[in-house]
């Protein structure tokens, strides 16, 4: 919401309370360094003659509203935020459900007094009165996008706001103040700078204030709220307003409110210590979604980040498991994001110098249908580019194992980090499987000539009880993505993608042939000890050692056929590769059967 008036910043604040005798008293509060013309201003003229009863049958007329006290020591909250509560006082939203529903249904627009009278029929305490007024305004007054442009059509008078059903922040705040005053609650309209519509990261604030909001006095303390922002939002072009209730701006904790509201009078920050305008300008803008999703803090705290050697890092802490994604200039290609139990970590490697917009999105882990909400925005200033950190296009965020992969059944990973570095082009990744799942893995690399099927043969799965090992032999140096999929063993359907690793190998000498081709009769708990290479040397005797169970006979078929013998759970023997292009391993599952099944196939080098 943008403020309209061009009043000087040091201005007086007028409060109009009512007493039960119907006398109107106007009191002015002046900043310390100005003196008011008290004699002229303190007028005891007759106010409204008959004031409506504003509570149930037990109401004895109005309570007297005392002149608002300026904030003092008891009103102040510690800064920075202590991460305890989003509100400045204990509020049980469930207890408000009936009152909220009632307030939404009240339909009075002929007079502010009648509206307040109707709203307060269900409100007993001051907190309930404020809540009823807040809910009604947030759901019935829309932001006036036309009036914002053409100020001549605009009135902020409470009765005009009520009857037109629209206004800008000034009108929201004046209506709120007026309704509280009728209800006998001390309330102030405050003004200042805001990081609202049109705010640019890192901008400075000068000149007149641009927004208005309120402070209310409840249970012996001042509290802050913003009914303009509680009611909804405008689109980027400021042509359309959408009602979208936002609980965050009701009695917001002052250490969070200062994130995007900077009052003209620093006492109304309600903070100890108070922030300077420079602090406000430099501080990171956390959107209300950030706190409503249970996120606690983000590093760095400055909104503009400089890369160091081509890299910038961001981390977020949160209470509960949360899913994150990011966009750097609209894409998630140039980063490595890892999920942590209480947050996430992101390393960014822009591939162009200059300024880049970085957005962080989040959603609760339990809400599969929920959409990702933008929670943070940074500007990343990049001076140099780290070309070595150009990631394969198949890399999917987040990278590496996390609480999310644990939920899918992948426990105790041998590599908890997202990147696996290998010098010789070989690595091995192990997990304990916490569920009865089948696993599928594939290897991807940009501009690789390998098909997906061929690249799968560079991964070998070995199962030992509930442990799984993925042996990887890279076909060449470079950056690879190891994608891991899973499905329930009882499921006939497709495998679901679970997560991926980045595997890097800089050694250009590394060149590994694929593992032998495995056929469907090769059971998942069988194991090849040798030969691991799917490409056998020509004209050589090759030693075989295989671990298989429940088998009656094993043959290796080259130009001739060789029998393997069983000893201590292993089938062993040799075969000669002369005169053949392929070598097959075959098994008899039953000694009485004459037919056998192919389980492995090797290629033989051409001479």
Say how far apart CA 401 and CA 394 lie, in whole Å: 17
CB atoms within 10 A of CB 163: 14
Give the other-Cβ count within 10 Å of 343's Cβ: 21
What are the residue boundaries of the structural domains of the chain, listed by start? 93-272, 291-382, 403-505, 517-604
Residue 388: the pLDDT is 86
Structure letter (DSSP) for residue 397: S
Three-state DSSP class for 300?
Answer: coil
Q: What is the mean predicted confidence (pLDDT) over 369-385?
A: 92
CA distances from 409 to 354, 486, 496 (A): 42, 9, 13
**What is the per-residue pLDDT across 451-464, written as a single tens digit (0 to 9) for each?**
888 889 999 999 99
pLDDT value at 408 more than 80: yes
- Quote the crossing angle between the two packed helices 169-182 and 126-140, to the nearest 10°: 150
Segment 110-139 mean pLDDT = 97
For 266, the 3-state DSSP assignment is helix
| Domains 291-382 and 517-604 agree in fold | yes
Return the structure tokens found at 559: 């130009």
Q: Does 3 score more than 90 pLDDT?
A: no
Q: What is the mean pLDDT of residues 100-121?
A: 97
pLDDT of residue 454: 85
d(CA 229, CA 246) in angstroms, rounded, equals 7
Residue 595 has pLDDT above 60, yes or no: yes
The band of 234, judged by pLDDT with boundaries at 50, 70 and 90, is: very high
Q: Cα separation of 386 and 353, whole Å?
A: 10
φ/ψ (deg, to 5) at 130: -60, -40
Question: What six digits make up the tokens of 362?
Answer: 């989040």
Q: Tens digits of per-residue pLDDT, 463-500?
A: 999 999 999 999 999 999 999 999 999 988 899 999 99
Query: Model confidence at 9, in pLDDT bands (50, 70, 90)?
Result: very low
Residue of 420 and 69 predicted with greater confidence: 420
Three-class secondary structure of residue 332 per DSSP: coil
**Could you tell me which residues come within 8 angstroms of residue 523 by beta carbon, excluding any fewer than 6 positions away?**
548
At residue 351, φ and ψ (nearest 5 deg) are: -100, 15
**Region 569-596 average pLDDT:** 90
Catalytic residues: 169, 211, 226
pLDDT classification of 66: cutoffs 50, 70, 90: low
Per-residue confidence band for 8, with pLDDT thresholds at 50, 70 and 90: very low
SS3 of residue 97 by DSSP: helix
What residues contact 300, with CB distance under 8 A and at least 6 apart? 284, 314
Do 133 and 123 touch, CB atoms closer than 8 A?
Answer: no
With a cut of 50, say whether residue 189 has pLDDT above it: yes
Which single residue is written with the structure tokens 């050692």?
A: 545
DSSP of 464-530: ETTEEEEEEE-SSSEEEEEEEEEEETT--SPPEEEEEEEEEE--TT---PPPPEE-TTS-TT-EEEE
Under CATH, to which class is 517-604 assigned? Answer: mainly beta
Report percent pLDDT > 90 for the chain.
Answer: 77
Over range 296-318, report the average pLDDT.
95
Q: What is the CATH number of domain 93-272?
A: 3.10.620.30
Residue 549's SS3 state is coil
Instruction: Say what percent of the chain tops pLDDT 70.
Output: 89
Judge whether residue 280 has pLDDT over 70.
yes
The whole-number pLDDT of residue 370 equals 80
Confidence of residue 406 (pLDDT cuts 50, 70, 90): very high
CATH fold group of domain 291-382: Immunoglobulin-like (2.60.40)
Beta bridge pairs of residue 478? 505
Average pLDDT over residues 84-93: 95
Cα 323 to its chain centre, rounded Å, is: 6
pLDDT (0 to 100) of residue 367: 73
| 42 confidence band (pLDDT: 50, 70, 90) | very low
| Residue 58 predicted with pLDDT over 90 | no
Residue 29 pLDDT = 52
Q: Which CATH number fits domain 403-505: 3.40.50.10470, 3.40.640.10, 3.40.220.10, 2.60.40.10?
A: 2.60.40.10
Q: From 268, 286, 266, select the one nearest 276 (Cα to Cα).
A: 266
* SS3 state of residue 126: helix
Tokens standing for residue 422: 């290998």
C-alpha to C-alpha distances, 348 to 48, 268, 312, 374, nearest whole angstrom = 64, 38, 5, 17
Q: How many whole angstroms separate alpha carbon 437 and alpha carbon 498?
A: 12
Mean per-residue pLDDT of the chain = 89
CA distance readout (Å), 241 to 40, 133, 168, 227: 43, 21, 11, 14
pLDDT digits (tens, 9 = 90+) for 517-556: 999 999 988 999 999 999 999 999 999 999 998 899 999 9
Instruction: Give the mean model confidence (pLDDT) for residues 441-447.
Output: 91
Give yes or no for a cis peptide into 398 (omega within 30° of 0): yes
pLDDT value of residue 106: 97
Residues 6+ apart with CB under 8 A from 128: 96, 99, 122
What pLDDT sits at residue 594? Answer: 77
Q: Look at the alpha carbons of 429, 435, 441, 445 in this order and tell me if their dihedral is positive or negative.
A: negative
Structural contact between residues 579 and 559, judged by C-beta atoms closer than 8 angstroms? yes
Angle between helices 112-119 and 126-140 (to 10 degrees): 120
**Contact at 8 Å (CB) between 393 and 333?**
yes
Give 202's pLDDT tier (boundaries 50, 70, 90): confident
């Amino acid at each position: 919401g943008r403020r309209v008036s061009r009043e000087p910043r040091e201005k007086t604040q007028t409060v109009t309370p009512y007493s039960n005798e119907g006398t109107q008293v106007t009191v002015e509060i002046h900043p310390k360094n100005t003196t008011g013309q008290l004699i002229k201003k303190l007028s005891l003229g007759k106010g409204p003659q008959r004031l409506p009863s504003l509570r149930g049958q037990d109401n004895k007329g109005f309570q007297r509203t005392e002149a608002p006290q300026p904030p003092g020591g008891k009103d102040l909250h510690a800064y920075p935020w202590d991460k305890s509560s989003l509100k400045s006082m204990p509020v049980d939203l469930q207890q408000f459900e009936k009152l909220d529903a009632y307030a939404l249904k009240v339909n009075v627009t002929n007079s502010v007094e009648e509206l307040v009278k109707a709203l307060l029929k269900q409100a007993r305490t001051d907190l309930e009165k404020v809540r009823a007024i807040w809910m009604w305004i947030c759901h019935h007054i829309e932001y006036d996008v036309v009036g914002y442009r053409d100020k001549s059509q605009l009135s902020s008078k409470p009765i005009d706001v009520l009857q037109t059903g629209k206004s800008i922040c000034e009108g929201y705040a004046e209506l709120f103040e007026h309704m509280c005053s009728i209800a006998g609650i001390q309330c102030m309209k405050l003004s200042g700078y805001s990081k609202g519509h049109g705010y640019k990261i890192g901008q400075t604030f000068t000149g007149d204030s641009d927004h208005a909001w309120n402070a209310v006095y409840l249970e012996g303390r001042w509290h802050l709220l913003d009914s303009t922002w509680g009611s909804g939002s405008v689109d980027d072009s400021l042509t359309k307003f959408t009602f979208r209730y936002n609980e965050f701006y009701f009695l917001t904790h002052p250490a969070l409110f200062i994130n995007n509201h900077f009052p003209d009078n620093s006492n109304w920050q309600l903070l100890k210590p108070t922030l300077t305008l420079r602090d406000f300008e430099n501080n990171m803008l956390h959107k209300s979604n950030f706190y409503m999703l249970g996120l606690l803090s983000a590093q760095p705290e400055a909104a503009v980040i400089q890369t160091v050697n081509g890299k910038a890092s961001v981390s977020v802490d949160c209470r509960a498991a949360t899913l994150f994604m990011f966009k750097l200039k609209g894409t998630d290609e140039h980063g490595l994001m890892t999920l942590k139990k209480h947050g996430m970590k992101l390393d960014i490697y822009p591939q162009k110098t200059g300024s880049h917009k970085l957005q962080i999105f989040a959603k609760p882990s339990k809400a599969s249908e929920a959409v990702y909400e933008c929670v943070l925005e940074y500007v990343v200033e990049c001076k140099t580019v780290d070309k070595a950190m150009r990631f394969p296009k198949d890399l999917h965020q987040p990278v590496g194992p996390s609480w999310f992969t644990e939920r899918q059944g992948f426990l105790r990973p041998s590599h908890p980090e997202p990147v696996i570095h290998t010098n010789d082009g070989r690595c091995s990744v192990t997990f304990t499987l916490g569920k009865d799942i089948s696993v599928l893995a594939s290897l991807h690399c940009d501009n690789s000539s390998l098909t997906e099927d061929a690249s799968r043969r560079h991964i070998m799965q070995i199962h030992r009880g509930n442990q799984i090992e993925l042996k990887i032999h890279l076909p060449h140096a470079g950056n690879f993505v190891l994608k891991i999929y899973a499905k329930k063993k009882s499921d006939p359907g497709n495998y679901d993608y679970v997560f991926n690793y980045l595997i890097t190998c800089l050694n250009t000498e590394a060149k590994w042939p694929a593992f032998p081709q495995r056929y469907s009769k090769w059971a998942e708990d069988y194991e090849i000890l040798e030969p691991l290479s799917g490409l056998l040397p020509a004209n050589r005797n090759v030693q075989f050692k295989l671990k298989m169970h429940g088998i009656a006979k094993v043959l290796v078929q080259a130009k001739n056929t060789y029998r393997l013998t069983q000893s201590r759970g292993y089938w062993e023997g040799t075969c000669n590769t002369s005169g053949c292009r392929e070598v097959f391993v075959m098994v008899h599952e039953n000694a009485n059967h004459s037919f056998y099944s192919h389980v492995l196939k090797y290629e033989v080098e051409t001479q």
